[in-house]
Structure formats: C-alpha cells, structure tokens
Amino acid sequence: MSKLFVATYAVKGKVQDGSKLYVELLDNDQHWFDDRIDDLLGSAWTDNSGFFEISFDDSLYKDNWFEGKPELFLVIRDNLGKIIHKTGIQSPSSPDDTENITFDIAIPDNRSLADNNPYDSANTSRIAAFARIGDTINFTENIPNSTRLLMQTLNAWLLYTNETKWNLIGYDGPQVERYPWRHTHSHKLKWNNL
Amino acid sequence: MQNTIFGIEEFEKRAEPYKVIRNDIVRNVDVCVIGSGAAGAILAQKLSAAGKSVVLLERGGYYDGESMNQRESDMISLLWKNSGANFTSNLKIAIAQGSCLGGSTVINDAVCFRIPDTVIRQWNALGVHISKEEWDDANDEVSDRINVAKVTEEELNENAKKLREACSVTLVDGNPIIAHHTNERNCGPSWTDPELQSCVQCGFCHLGCHYDTKQSMLVTYIHDAVHSDVDFTAYCNCEVKKITHSNGIATGVEGSFVDNAGNEKYRIQVNAKVIIVSAGAIASSNLLQKSRIANKNIGEGLALHPAPFVMGHFQEKVYGNRGIPMSYTCHEFGVTNNVKTGGFLIESIFLPIFQLALAVPSFGVDHARLMAEYNNYALAGIMVRDEPVGRIIKTFGDNPQVLYELARDTLDDMARGMSILARMWFDIGADYVITSHGDIPEIRTVQDIPKLAKAIQNNPDGLRVGSAHPQGGNKIGEDPAKAVVNSDCRMFGFKNLYVCDASVFPTALGVNPQLTVMALAALTANKIVANWPSDVIISDSLGSVCDVSQPQYCLTATLGEMFAVTKHKEELFGKLENSQSNEIVPDENWRFDKDKLMIHNNLYWKGFYGRDTNIMTTGLRMFGGFFKRFRKLNSDSFSGVTKPFDVPVFAKSLAKQKTLAGYGTIIHLQYEDAPYNQAYDVLKMIDENTILGKAFLGQFGRGQLLFDFSMSRKYHADFMGEDDLTTLFYSDQYSHTPTKDEMVGRWEGSLVSDSIVSPRSQVFDFEYSGNEEYQMQYNFANLLRGYSEVSVNNDLFRFDDYTPFHDELRMIRDDFVVGKWVTDWSLLPASQFSIQELQNLVNSGASQSQIINSIYRIFNLRVPRLPQEIGLSFLNVENNPQKGSRIGLSYILKRMN
Ligand SMILES: Cc1cc2nc3c(=O)[nH]c(=O)nc-3n(C[C@H](O)[C@H](O)[C@H](O)COP(=O)(O)OP(=O)(O)OC[C@H]3O[C@@H](n4cnc5c(N)ncnc54)[C@H](O)[C@@H]3O)c2cc1C
C-alpha cells in the first residue's frame, strides 16, 4: 500500500486506578464487543500514573473498502490478564484527525451488585446436598425408614417454611425482613410489644 | 492493617472487608488452618497474634449478621453442612454441623460448659496430658473473649422455666433432683449495632445471629484476626481436598473454591510451615483419609451425643420459640454430676417451626394436629454421653460415610432419660406428652410411660435422634498404634501437621463441647508457638493450580488472559525444534523424574486444553488431544505437523516469528494444505518447554478465535499419554515388577488415553486375608465389583478376572504404578478377530458406539457395560516385540493409604 493512503493514529489515555494495567485497543468492526474476532489494533501497559499511548495505522482495520474511520474501544486488563473493564466506542472526528483520540477511563469501583443476594443460590445448595448424600447413605438398608424420613422432610419443607401456615398456627416467624440490609429495620422483637 | 476475607460469592455488602476471587491462588505462609470453627478460628487468630502469617481456609461461605435473615429455608442451606442433609449411613441419626465462616459456632445455641473434672481425669488416663489448671486457664482466656456469662433470671424463657419447675417437683426413684441450674452462654455486645449489649433473645440461634450478639468465632476471633496487624487471610467457599506430605513433613494444602452446587471454580495451593486440620469431627477424618496418611486409627472412635427429645403439651401458651432456646439444664444424671460412664443431661431447647416439624415423628393428619399446638409445648432433649462406637470411612466418591449404631447402654440411657422427662412434664401439669419415637409419638397418661422404654428396646430404629456434637475420629493418645495425635494435637509421624478440633476427643465429653474445643485450641496454639518447626522449609510447589509455567492446570478463560499479558520470548524461538526421531528414545528425547513424577518429552509438543468441566472443553480434552512437532527448515522458520491423537490427520504447517499488531512478536503457524490452510495459530513461547497458543480461522491477524490451548514438553505424570505409559511400563530403568507385599493397600486408578488421564475410574484393594491368602478386590466406577486372582511369576505381576482380559502391573514408586488391562490374541479364538480388523473398523469412521459394540460382540464379553467415558480414545492398541499385539486399556494407580 502506498504511503499516501496509510494514516497512523495515536490513541492516548489515562486509567484512574492505582495498579499497573494492560490496555488493548480494538476496532469494533460491526461485531460489537465480540472479542472472538481478532480486531486487536494495539496494546500497552499503563505507566505509574496510569497513562498509556497506543498507535496503529489504518491498514489494520481497513480490510473492507467501506470501513471509513475506526470505531475504537479499549479493553482494560489487570496484571493477570483478567478483563476488568471495557470502554464505550470512540472514533476520530474525521479520518484526518489522527492525534486526538483520547480516553479518560474511570473503572467503576464496584460492579453493581445491588441485585445479588445469598439466598438465590440456597436452592442450588439444597439440590446438590441431596445429590451428595446418595454417596454416603445406604438408602436401601431400611427402605420403610428411609422413605418415611424422606416423606417427612418433604412434608415439613413444603408446609412449615410457608408463611400462610405460620399464620394459621400463630408462629411468630422471623423478626427481620427477608433482605434486612435493604431496609432500615429495628432490632426489637415483635412479641415484646404485644 | 486491615486483612481481607475472600470468597466466590458476589455480595452487595459485607460487614468485614470482603473480596471476590476470580483466579487460582498460591500462598506461601507460616500457618495454614483448615476449618474456621471453634478450634480453627482460635488457632488462626492466636498464631496470627504471635506474629505468624496465617491463611484460614473455610469450606462454607461468609455470611454476616445482616444476611442472617432468620428464615430456615434460606439459612439452613447456607450455614449448615450439606444444607442440613447430613446423616449416619443408616439414616437413623441426623447430624447437624455448621459450614460457614465461624463453623458450628455460628449456628450453635451458645451454651458454654467447662470440661467436667471427671472427664479431665478420664482423659488423663487416656493420654491427654492437660492438667486441670491448664484447662482452667485456657477456659478463662477463651471465656473472657467470647464473653461467657450466666443467663439471668430475666432471660429465662417460659420453656426453660418449665424445665426448672419440673426439676424441682419431680422425684426420681423417690429422690428429688438436686443438680439443675441455668446455663452460661457466650453472648455480649454487638460490634455492628452499638445499641445491643447482650442477647436479643430472638430464639433463632440455629440460623445464625442476625444481631451479632452471639459471640461466635465470626464476630470474635475471626473479627480480631481480620483487624490485626499481621498478615491474615480467610478464604471462604474453599474446600480443602488434600494435604500433601513427604517424609513426615506436611508440605502443602490443595483446595478448590466451590460454588453452591459444589462445582470447582478456582483452586488454591497453600504451602506452609505448619498445617492444622480443624475441619470438625467427620470432615477432619475424611480429609486425613483423603490425604493418604497411613494411620489406621483415623476415622475410628466417633461419638455423637445422640439426643432424642420429649415435649409436654400444656393448656396455657408456652411460646417456647420466644427467648433463649437453651438456658437451663438438669445435670442430675450426667457426667457433670459425677456419673462416670454414660449418663445424660436433660437440656431445655426449643426449635424454629421447620426444625420442630422435622423432629416430630408422626405423619399426615396426626403431624398437622401436633404441629398446630406449636405454641403450647415445652421441649427438652436428652443428650446422652455415648460410647465412641462410630467409624468414618471414605466412599468411592471420597465422601465421609458415618457408620454408627446406637449401643445398648446408650439406648438404655435414652429410655431412662425420656421416661424421666415424660414424667417431669406430667408432674407440672402437661396434659399429654410427645416423644421422638415413631411407635409412640404421644403419651396420654403417666401410666403409659413404661411403654416408651419398651418401644425403644423393641424397636430402636423408631427413635428420631439428632446429634449436634460429633466428636472423635482422630483421637488423642500416647500410643501411635491406638491414637492419631499426641497430647499436643500433633499427628503421629509428623513434625508440622496438627489436628485440633472436636475430632481429637478420645471419648464423648458429656457436655456441650464448644468451650472445650476452644480451650483445647488455645492450648494447642501456645504449644505450636513453643515448638515452632523453624527448620521446616516452605515448599515452592504450585500443586495443581493454574500458572503460566503449568498451563495444563488452567481454565480456558485464564489461558486467554495469560496469553494477553505474557510476552513471547523471542530468544527461545530457535528451541522450538523437537527430536529428530519419531519414536520415544528414553534418555535421548524422553526423560522421567521419579521424585516429581514429571515427564520430559521432546518427541513432540503435547497439546492441552483448559481444565473447564463444561461439555465443550471436556469433549476437547477427552477426544481432541493433539501434538505438534517441529523440524528446522532454515534460519527463521520451522516446518511443523499437527496430529490429533485419535484421528488419522497430519496437518502440515510453517512456523515463523512475526510482529502482529496488539500482540507484539509472536510465532505465526500457518497451515499449508487444504482444508487446514483456512486456519492459523498464534503461539507464544513462555519458557523452553511451555507454549501458549490461540487457534484462529480466517485471514492472519483478522481471524475468528477457535480456542485457546497450551503445549508442553514437560508435564506431570497426571497428564501422561499412552506412549509415556508404555515407555514407563517396559523400562527396567523406571519401573519394576512389584511383589505382592509391595502392592498391599488401596489404590485408585485412572485410565490413560493420549488425550486425557481420566478422573478416578477404579479402586483396587490388595491385601492378605485372615488366612494369609492374597486377595485383590476391584471396584470399577462403583458399577462393577469383584475379586481377581493374582499371580506373580516370570517377572510378571498379573491378575485375571472372568473376561478374556487380564491386568499387568509395573511399579514406578511405592505410591505410583502403571497398569495394563490387555488380552493376548493367542488366547482368543484366532479366527474371530485381529488387530487389523480393529484398525479397519476404526479407520472406516465407525462411530464410537459401533466399535465398542463390536468389541463386546467379538470378545463375547458378558460383563456389564463400561461407563460412557471409557470410549474409543481409551482403547489402547499395542504392538510390542515381547508381548505381541495386544488390545486393552492402560491406567495409572495411585496409592490411597
Ligand atoms: C445446631 C448446633 C447447636 C449447637 N449448640 C451448642 C451449644 O449450645 N454449646 C456447645 O458447646 N456446643 C454446641 N454445638 C456444638 C459446637 O458448636 C461444636 O462442637 C464445635 O463448634 C465444634 O468445633 P470444631 O472446631 O470441631 O468444628 P466446627 O465448629 O464445626 O468447624 C469446622 C469447620 O470446618 C469446615 N470444614 C470442614 N471440612 C472442610 C474442608 N475440607 N475444607 C475447609 N473447611 C472445612 C466446616 O465448614 C466448618 O466451618 C452445637 C452444634 C450445632 C450444629
């Protein structure tokens, strides 16, 4: 390719994070964030202040005549290579604007875990537990006993973890909300106010 | 300094500093403690306070007070071992144990008893050299930190008061009950809610303390260690699988971070100067058994404190669930009242509704009727000091199986205790009594009480019994022939391996054990510091965790991540070349390090995929094994060939060093012939024997990623292929024909194919039976069991089963053997089958099941079908000059005990 047609771009930026990070520059190429396609244009480690600079020439992304200007995004990895962040897309304002592509990246401190709670996985634990005991018990040693135990457990589980049943019996039940940390709640017991 | 608790669960918010693990971990520290319960937490904290760096590994998760929501459906699954589904093998006794950061102390009833004087004396005689003064000091020390204090009069709930009243009115054999009083408990100020100075009395102790007033290990010793100045790390969701050791030195701990379904996510290797097993009774014995520690006493002598209950029904509401569940005890018949053998305590206790529903032994309408009266019951349990008659054995799946039958004396104690308690409830006005015996769930009159004792005698299986205090299994003693640890809790035969938890109790304690476990841990911590093994050198083993130097152990995703940030070593490119020979020539292109069980193989670069257990990667690993071989072409390129082991394909390629945008310098491997020339690999040499690679489809630099892989010229015997095994098998330098004596013991086997060494597929036991007859017993994937006849002659260790196949073994090390399950063609009807026929079948592209079906037909095999995974790729065809052509399976055996 003649020099006339090759433009070299420089992408600069700063990652606001204390540690040394690895920055990969990718071309979007119609495959939004699909990192199975090898569209890596360049990579660099951040310096001690979080700065990095990556340059590339447009021969790398111009594999189709209609690809006008690059659609760039960054993948930020920690020192083990774990992806800790992907940025949004930026493009040069015009094909000639090869110097002013700057990313200022603040890595979100905590991924949004607002919907996570430990109880979601409790059911998985239970199923796995029942699968596991198969290896440690002799269910067939006393089939009537074993079956009775199983039926009683199911019966207890279905009926007595159920709030309607509690109300019928007059069982006080839990003294806090199911997701206590999501509500300001009192540490007083309901029956002390009766 | 603030230390951190790690786990794999992603939480919104935790009370302590908490981080989520996203990769394998290797730690080299002074001390590794396994289990964070009553013993483990104290050992970890005290050793940390003594200046030692400590890693604490806990199987369960980290749940803080805020997440303990008082719901049985949520909390039992999260805090209890095996979600509460934990039984003796005969399903007769349910065993409750905690499995979370803080162990059982998080879910216990907070009752604190000191070790009774009688027990101190009895244990002294059994080799526990701890004086009463030492116990007192340790109890004081621990009680101070966990705030042990007597339950006040205001804190006694109606349920406890009923027991107290009953104790003061009932006469037993005409005599009043003298020894009964309120309990001491470990409750105190909450560190998370400054307004709470003592127990809130919610009654949900078994579901963890929402208020952080129960002074469990989580909010005391672990909290202290997290906020200390010394390097302390707790890893949760981390199940220790094995302790490695050699020559009496425990070298490391191998663990897996497991999700709630028990699936491995990441791995950890901890190398430490001192290793302490505090996984609690049952689990500690199981771990030692899994770790190939040869002491036949491991698992022996388990006691359970089995406890049936009796409830009294009263006209007035008792509301037993309101208030402290366990605050009053009748000691009259127990060791605390100087009863020397057996005996029992009658303990007030109440349960949240689901647990009570489980305990009431009736069914259907009856059960519903009894449960409707929940608020009108007074409940107490008979906690029996049983004989340590239980055993823990390891199952085929490596899980602990608890063998325990209630002894006659224990049943007698139960019958007596339950009868007395039934009487007590009637004496204070109960209108009927509910028992935990299925044959007699209700007793309507005092006159009917004797029927209960009869029912227990006649049908002990009808008793619904619970245990919350498993003890023993690794007992302390003086004699290594009879015990597992010495009085310092140090494992016999080891310099730096300790077992310290309820499992070391030589007999049942007779009182609720937490304080004694804690005191023992405090004493043991001091002894470990005093006998610090300064001369033990911390191992640098990476175990089986992912590392760039051993990528066979990495997850696929990690291979990709390592590839991204690791530089290709350009200067090593010249060393890409493999041996000129096409065969293994020991000592030339192939070496074996017996000590480390490492294979150096320069016949080719052996390919590896990620260790993931998803179907895609497992399939690749099982059937997609390959090698690449390189020969020098000219100064800057190598010609190569890629050969999948199980398919007759040789894909030619050209390897050149190039610069690729974003990657820097890499090796570009371009396939030459169609259809493979649509693909290319990008390789990075990490060291002389390790390559990380990515396979792409498409145009170089713009391809579609197919998969990540690695290649090695140096790999552990756990990754050997058929050529490696055959080389070891026939080499007098590396292996020998074992004698019968050398093989005595239990061995686990894994099948070897070129692509993969399978997970455990068989267990072999070699032993001399009672009449000195040598026996070999096999258990193949828990499906096929039987005996084989062993013969050792003509330098051949051979055993025959009832198929036309037989086994031959060669020993590499006293703990590592290679074997072949083969047939001599000469023994088969000649007309029926030949190697050629098999090869034709394979080459014709017949499906795996077709080939296997043919083998069954041709060989006239009438044995049950082998499991699925033992498919075609495990079929080993051998053309050996000495033995002729043989077909069969190859395997490795590792000693289990
Ligand atoms: C419901 C209940 C109520 C109780 N009430 C009382 C009471 O009121 N008073 C009293 O004195 N005692 C009580 N106990 C008993 C007391 O809590 C235990 O005896 C004591 O905690 C035992 O301490 P430990 O260190 O041996 O084991 P635990 O406290 O059980 O701790 C062992 C820990 O090791 C972990 N572990 C196991 N295997 C592995 C592995 N492979 N890798 C990593 N970690 C592992 C477990 O998950 C667990 O967290 C109660 C127990 C229960 C279950």
> CA-CA distance, A148 to A150, in Å (whole number)?
5
Residue nearest to atom 3 of ligand 1 (CA): B108
pLDDT of residue B181: 97
User: With an 8 Å Cβ cutoff, are B561 and A83 in contact?
Assistant: yes
Q: Which two tokens stand for residue B706?
A: 């197919």
Domain B551-716, CATH: 2.40.128
For ligand 1, what atom is nearest to the CA of residue B99? 47
Of the options 3.40.109.10, 3.50.50.60, 1.10.10.10, 3.100.10.20, the CATH number for the domain spanning B1-147+211-298+471-544 = 3.50.50.60
Strand, coil or helix: what is B30?
Answer: strand
C-beta B38 within 6 A of ligand 1: yes
Of A128-137, B182-191, B387-396, the least confident: A128-137
Q: Which two tokens stand for residue B373?
A: 């009266």
pLDDT of residue A121: 83
Q: Residue A2 — pLDDT band, cuts 50, 70, 90?
A: very low
Instruction: Provide the chain B residues 101-160 that lie in CB contact (below 8 A) with chain A.
Output: none
* Predicted confidence (pLDDT) at residue B859 exceeds the cutoff of 80: no
Chain A positions in Cβ-Cβ contact with residue B9 (cut-off 8 Å): 118, 121
Instruction: Indicate the pTM of the whole model.
Output: 0.92
For a ligand 1 pocket test, name from B207, B469, B489, B503 the mutation site with the most ligand atoms within 8 angstroms of its C-beta. B469
* Predicted confidence (pLDDT) at residue B294 exceeds the cutoff of 90: no
CATH architecture of A8-106: Sandwich (2.60)
Angle of helix B848-858 versus helix B835-843 axis, rounded to 10: 160
Burial category of B196 from C-beta neighbours within 10 Å (exposed 0-12, middle 13-18, buried 19 and up): middle
How far away, in angstroms, is B372 Cα from ligand 1 center?
Answer: 32
Closest CA in chain A for residue B89: A137
How far away, in angstroms, is B127 Cα from ligand 1 center?
Answer: 24
> CA-CA distance, B628 to B607, in Å (whole number)?
7
For a ligand 1 pocket test, name from B62, B63, B86, B104 the mutation site with the most ligand atoms within 8 angstroms of its C-beta. B104
B381 to chain A nearest CA, in Å? 20
Please state the rounded mean pLDDT for residues A98-114: 68
pLDDT of residue B255: 98
On whether the CB atoms of residues B35 and B282 are closer than 8 A, the answer is: no
C-beta B508 within 6 A of ligand 1: no
By C-alpha distance, which of B376, B363, B373 is closest to B319?
B376
pLDDT of residue B831: 46
Q: State phi, psi for B644 to the nearest 5 degrees.
A: -70, 135
C-beta B254 within 6 A of ligand 1: no
pLDDT, tens digit, 9 for 90 and up, residues B692-746? 999 999 989 888 899 999 999 999 999 999 999 999 999 999 999 999 999 999 9
Of B175-184, B251-260, B784-793, the least confident: B784-793
Chain B CB within 8 Å of residue A27 CB: no
> CA-CA distance, B418 to B404, in Å (whole number)?
21
Burial category of B178 from C-beta neighbours within 10 Å (exposed 0-12, middle 13-18, buried 19 and up): exposed
Please state the rounded mean pLDDT for residues B575-589: 94
How far away, in angstroms, is B791 Cα from ligand 1 center?
Answer: 48
pLDDT, tens digit, 9 for 90 and up, residues B518-554? 999 999 999 999 999 999 999 999 999 999 999 999 9
Instruction: Provide the chain A residues 135-154 that lie in CB contact (below 8 A) with chain B.
Output: 135-139, 141-142, 145-146, 148-149, 151-153
pLDDT, tens digit, 9 for 90 and up, residues B377-411? 999 999 999 999 999 999 888 999 999 999 999 99
* Predicted confidence (pLDDT) at residue B258 exceeds the cutoff of 50: yes
Q: Residue B800 — pLDDT band, cuts 50, 70, 90?
A: confident
User: With an 8 Å Cβ cutoff, are B357 and A155 in contact?
Assistant: yes
pLDDT, tens digit, 9 for 90 and up, residues B51-61? 999 999 999 99
CB atoms within 10 A of CB B449: 20
pLDDT of residue B866: 46
Chain B positions in Cβ-Cβ contact with residue A123 (cut-off 8 Å): 77
In eight-state DSSP terms, residue A152 is: H
What pairing do the DSSP bridges indicate for beta strands B664-671 and B651-660?
Answer: antiparallel
Please state the rounded mean pLDDT for residues B636-642: 95
Please state the rounded mean pLDDT for residues B881-888: 70
Distance of CA B7 to CAs A100, B23, B62, B210, B544, Å?
Answer: 42, 11, 7, 20, 19
C-beta B103 within 6 A of ligand 1: yes
Test mutation, A160, A164, A168, A179, chain B, max B CBs within 10 A: A160
In this complex, which of B87, B261, B696 lies closest to A133 when CB atoms are compared? B87
On whether the CB atoms of residues B304 and B386 are closer than 8 A, the answer is: yes
Sheet holding A22-27, edge to edge: A40-45, A22-27, A72-77, A83-86
Domain boundaries, chain A: 8-106, 122-193
* Predicted confidence (pLDDT) at residue B828 exceeds the cutoff of 60: no
On whether the CB atoms of residues B226 and B234 are closer than 8 A, the answer is: yes
pLDDT of residue B822: 85
Domain B722-827+862-895, CATH: 2.40.128
Chain B positions in Cβ-Cβ contact with residue A168 (cut-off 8 Å): 372
Chain B CB within 8 Å of residue A180 CB: yes
pLDDT of residue A117: 83
CB atoms within 10 A of CB A95: 13
A93 to chain B nearest CA, in Å? 23
Strand, coil or helix: what is B425?
Answer: helix
Report chain B's mean pLDDT, rounded to a whole number. 92
